[in-house]
C-alpha cells in the first residue's frame, strides 16, 4: 500500500468512526479504489480513532478515577462498566455463534438508510421529552445492547446506535447521550481491537508495511480528534438530522452503484 492511500484511509477512518455515518460503508468504497486492506491495517487505524477520543475525554476519565469516592462518580463508572460487560459478553457469544452479516455493499447500504430514518425518529421523540442529562441503569443496559446490534449489522454505526439508543431510553440531552456513548466506546473498541489483533497475530498475520501503517494511524488519530471536537461543539446547538439525511443519500447512492456493478 502506498503512503498516499494510507493517508486517505486514515482520514476517512478518523472522520467517520465517531460521526454517526458509519465508517464501514465509507471504507468499503475507499477500498474499491485504493485496494484491499488487511485486517491488521483496519484494526490499527481504528485504534488511532479511539486514541483520539481517549485524549479528548482524559479529564473526564481521570475525574471518575480520582473522584471514585463520590457516589455520582461511582454510579456513572458502574454504568459504563455494565454497558461494556454486556457488549463484551454478548459480543463473544454472537461471534462464537457466527451472528454477523457479510460486509457487502447492499446490506450496508440498507443499514445506512434505515439508520438515517432511525436518527430522525429518535430526534423527534427526544424533542418531545423534557431535557434529561441523567444516565440511568436502563440507559446503560440499552447502550450495551445497541453496541451488539452495531457489531452484527455493518453500516449501522456504533456511535449512531448508542447515542440514539441512549436518547430513546431516557437521556434526551444530546450532549449527555453522546458523552456516555463515546466513553463506553473507549474500552469497548480498545478491547475489540486487541482481541482482533491477537487473532491476526495468532494466525500468522503481521506482514505489513509498517511505515504506511504508522502514517495511517497518526492521520486517523489527528483527523478523529478534529472530527469529534467539531461534533461535540456542533451538537450543543444542532440536531443530528443532517447526518440522517446524509446517511439516506449515501445509502441510496451505494445501492445505485451496486445495481450498476460499480461496487459489490
Q: How far, in Å, are 37, 52, 68, 101, 220 from residue 216 at the CA level?
A: 12, 13, 36, 27, 6
Q: Is the pTM for the entire model greater than 0.85?
A: yes
Cα 45 to Cα 36: distance, rounded to the nearest angstrom: 14
Position with higher pLDDT, 200 vs 88 = 88
Q: Which of 31, 11, 262, 240 is nearest to 118 (CA)?
A: 240
Q: What is the pLDDT of residues 8-47, one digit of tens each?
A: 999 999 999 999 999 988 988 887 777 777 778 888 899 9
pLDDT at residue 177, as a whole number: 97
Cα 71 to Cα 154: distance, rounded to the nearest angstrom: 37
Q: What is the pLDDT of residues 82-137, one digit of tens each?
A: 999 999 999 999 888 887 767 788 999 999 999 999 999 999 998 898 999 999 99
Q: What is the pLDDT of residues 136-195, one digit of tens each?
A: 999 999 999 999 999 888 899 999 999 999 999 999 999 999 999 999 999 999 998 888
pLDDT at 205 over 70: no
pLDDT at 206 over 60: no
Q: Please name the helix (run of DSSP H) or strand (run of DSSP E) that holds residue 59, with its range, or none.
A: helix 58-66
In the chain, the percentage of residues whose pLDDT exceeds 70 is 97
Cβ neighbours, 10 Å, residue 78: 12
Residue whose C-alpha cell reads 457489531 in the numeric block: 151
Region 56-66: what's the mean pLDDT? 96
> Residue 205 has which C-alpha cell?
498475520
Amino acid at each position: 500500500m502506498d503512503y498516499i492511500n494510507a493517508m486517505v484511509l486514515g482520514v476517512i477512518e478518523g472522520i467517520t468512526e465517531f460521526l454517526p455515518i458509519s465508517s464501514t460503508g465509507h471504507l468499503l468504497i475507499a477500498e474499491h479504489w485504493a485496494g484491499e486492506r488487511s485486517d491488521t491495517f483496519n484494526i490499527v487505524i481504528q485504534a488511532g480513532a479511539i486514541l483520539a477520543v481517549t485524549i479528548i475525554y482524559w479529564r473526564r476519565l481521570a475525574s471518575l478515577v480520582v473522584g471514585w469516592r463520590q457516589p455520582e462518580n461511582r454510579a456513572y463508572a458502574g454504568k459504563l462498566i455494565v454497558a461494556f460487560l454486556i457488549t463484551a459478553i454478548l459480543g463473544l457469544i454472537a461471534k462464537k455463534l457466527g451472528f454477523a452479516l457479510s460486509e457487502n455493499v447492499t446490506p450496508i447500504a440498507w443499514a445506512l438508510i434505515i439508520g438515517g430514518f432511525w436518527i430522525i425518529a429518535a430526534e423527534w421523540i427526544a424533542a418531545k421529552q423534557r431535557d434529561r442529562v441523567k444516565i440511568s441503569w436502563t440507559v446503560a443496559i440499552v447502550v450495551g445492547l445497541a453496541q451488539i446490534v452495531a457489531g452484527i449489522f455493518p453500516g449501522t454505526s456504533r456511535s449512531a446506535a448508542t447515542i440514539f439508543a441512549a436518547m430513546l431510553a431516557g437521556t434526551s440531552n444530546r450532549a449527555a447521550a453522546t458523552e456516555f456513548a463515546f466513553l463506553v466506546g473507549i474500552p469497548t473498541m480498545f478491547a475489540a481491537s486487541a482481541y482482533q489483533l491477537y487473532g491476526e497475530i495468532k494466525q500468522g498475520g503481521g506482514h505489513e508495511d509498517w511505515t504506511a501503517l504508522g502514517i495511517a494511524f497518526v492521520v486517523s488519530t489527528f483527523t478523529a480528534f478534529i472530527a469529534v471536537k467539531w461534533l461535540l461543539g456542533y451538537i450543543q446547538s444542532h440536531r443530528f438530522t443532517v447526518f440522517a439525511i446524509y446517511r439516506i443519500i449515501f445509502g441510496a447512492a451505494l445501492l445505485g452503484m451496486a445495481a450498476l456493478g460499480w461496487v459489490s
